[in-house]
Amino acid sequence: MQFTVSQAPINEFQGQALILFVPSEGELPKATAVINEQLSGFIAQLQQNNDMKGKVGDTLVIPQASGPRLILVGMGKNPMSGKDFCKAINAAAKTLKASAANDAAIDLSDIEIEGFDSEWAHKQLGQSFQDALYHFDECKSKKDESPAKIEGLTVIAENTAEIDLKFGQALAKGMAFAKKLGDMPPNVVTPSYLADEADKLATLSNNLTTKILDEDQMEELGMGSFLSVAKGSIEPGKIICMEYMAGKAGDAPHVLVGKGITFDTGGISLKPGAGMDEMKYDMCGAASVLGTMLAIIELELPINFVGVVAAAENMPSGHASKPGDIVTAMNGTTIEILNTDAEGRLVLCDALSYTIDTYKPASIVDIATLTGACMAALGRVNSGLFSTDEDLVNELLSASNTSRDTVWRLPLEDEYQELLDSNFADIANIGGPLAGATTAACFLSRFTEGQKWAHLDIAGTAWNSGGKAKGATGRPVPLLVNYLANKI
């Protein structure tokens, strides 16, 4: 998709559509007012007749006998909230995609957003319209011969908007990469497939190199926890390290660690069959790290950043771990496996230990579709945030607010740690029926002591279930890219 910045008035646009904002009350924004005057008050008459009430996200497409069609978008009140602006822009992108037009013009210069400036608005614009292009038909024998396309968007703005549009566009490309990895079938997306995708990313930037640990290397390193999960599958586990070093030489990198369970049956603690196909999405933490890396490459951010993926399948077999097994993690901690379906923390703990030993990171954030308990608590609106480092919490909350990729902080007090006590090992891999999201975070905290560390549980936000809405969301790529961009 091509973004063009122009200073010409919107009524001089010669393309196929004009995107115009209509408020629920008050005066029309300048761009809409210009077209309204040109059409002898037609848009204002639509308001008066309640054909276009201006409710946030409502749209109305008006064809013209000559000239571009009008896509009217409800904006609610002006100034708008950041949430309402994003809703309106997403509605505009989806409506344009569904229309017969393949290009349009838009002017945000008179749209006020509470707490945000035009730079933020143009970033969101670039992200939403690029994201609207996502279309998954990789596995269909008959492709959609004429998928809806948006070929170009002319933005009436100062030339500086080009930088902001590029940021949003790069972010959406990272989201699309993460979505595609999640939506692909698990017989294709294996740990080895993710390793190959990481190697492909390395061809896009001279600043990026990859390092892949195989199971023999993990055995030598004493990663008994990771291997206890991987050994149940014929697909070999991998720890994938992507080292993007474009910052100051010698500066410690910021690290993201993603859970990459490419399919999760639950192992011997087998999951119910209904909906188990969605367990291909248990690698969305890994997908978000890969998507973030692509966005960082696109933006050429001058930062030292390492993306780590802990990739394995969790399968039931004669080699699989059993409830009651005790394994030893890389840092020497012994773990009693009470439930083999709590496997994400078993691969992540060794990946975290390796990451800390190898990279001595300035900060470390892990991202995982870790617990149904987090989904029960927060639904599909907020990702769960856990950390005891107040500075890091504030950085992630700030990035969440900017990106509108929302998180909610959940407790991580020491009092929860005793729920992980085991009679037979140093720690159990589950903490019982209560506070499941917190005890999972407590488990990981045992392997990150003394580090600037946070955990994101994206079990509820990484994908949507059921019907036409089913599919990966690309979250939390927007949060992570903004978080890293703020480090510069």
Domain spans in the chain, listed from the N-terminal domain onward: 2-156, 172-485
- The pLDDT tens digits for 28-86 are 999 999 999 999 999 999 999 999 999 999 999 999 988 999 999 999 998 999 999 99
13 contacts 153 by C-beta, under 8 angstroms:
no
- The pLDDT tens digits for 397-430 are 999 999 999 999 999 999 999 999 999 999 999 9
Of the ranges 249-258, 295-304, 342-351, 463-472, which one carries the lowest mean pLDDT score?
A: 463-472
pLDDT band at 195 (very low <50, low <70, confident <90, very high): very high
Per-residue confidence (pLDDT) for residue 147, from 0 to 100: 61
Per-residue confidence (pLDDT) for residue 122, from 0 to 100: 98
pLDDT band at 178 (very low <50, low <70, confident <90, very high): very high
Per-residue confidence (pLDDT) for residue 333, from 0 to 100: 98
Rounded distance, CA 308 to CA 239, Å? 7
DSSP string for 276-316: GGGGGGGGHHHHHHHHHHHHHHHHT---EEEEEEEEEEE--
Per-residue confidence (pLDDT) for residue 145, from 0 to 100: 67
Task: Please state the pTM of the whole predicted model.
Answer: 0.97
> How far from chain centre, in Å, is Cα 183?
13
Residue 366 burial by CB count (10 A; 0-12/13-18/19+): exposed, middle or buried?
Answer: buried
- The pLDDT tens digits for 109-154 are 999 999 999 999 999 999 999 999 999 998 999 887 666 689 999 9
> How far from chain centre, in Å, is Cα 250?
29
Superfamily of domain 2-156 in CATH is Leucine Aminopeptidase, subunit E, domain 1 (3.40.220.10)
The CATH number assigned to the domain with range 172-485 reads: 3.40.630.10
Per-residue confidence (pLDDT) for residue 349, from 0 to 100: 98
Mean pLDDT of the 145-167 span: 90
Mean pLDDT of the 299-303 span: 98
Q: What does the mean pLDDT of the chain come to?
A: 96
178 contacts 293 by C-beta, under 8 angstroms:
no
Strand partners, 263: 313
Active site residue 345: yes
| 334-336/326-328 β-pairing | antiparallel
213 contacts 238 by C-beta, under 8 angstroms:
yes
Q: Which residue has the tokens 């959940």?
A: 410
CATH topology agreement for domains 2-156 and 172-485 = no
The contacts of residue 303 (CB under 8 Å, 6+ apart) are 244, 246, 247, 254, 296, 484, 487, 488
Q: What are phi and psi of 72, to 5 degrees?
A: -90, 130
For the chain, the straight-line distance linking the first and the last C-alpha, in angstroms and rounded, comes to 28
Q: Could you give the angle at which helices 284-299 and 161-183 cross, rounded to 10 degrees?
A: 150
Q: If phi over 0 gives left and psi between -120 and 50 gives alpha, with beta otherwise, what is residue 127? A: alpha
Per-residue confidence (pLDDT) for residue 143, from 0 to 100: 80
Which one from 271, 409, 452, 487 is the annotated catalytic residue?
A: 271
| 161 has pLDDT over 80 | yes
Which one from 123, 345, 404, 475 is the annotated catalytic residue?
A: 345
Beta-carbon-side half-sphere exposure of residue 82 (alpha carbons within 13 Å): 18
299 contacts 485 by C-beta, under 8 angstroms:
yes
Structure-token pair, residue 223 = 């990663």
- The pLDDT tens digits for 324-374 are 999 999 999 999 999 999 999 999 999 999 999 999 999 999 999 999 999
The three-state secondary structure class of 157 is coil
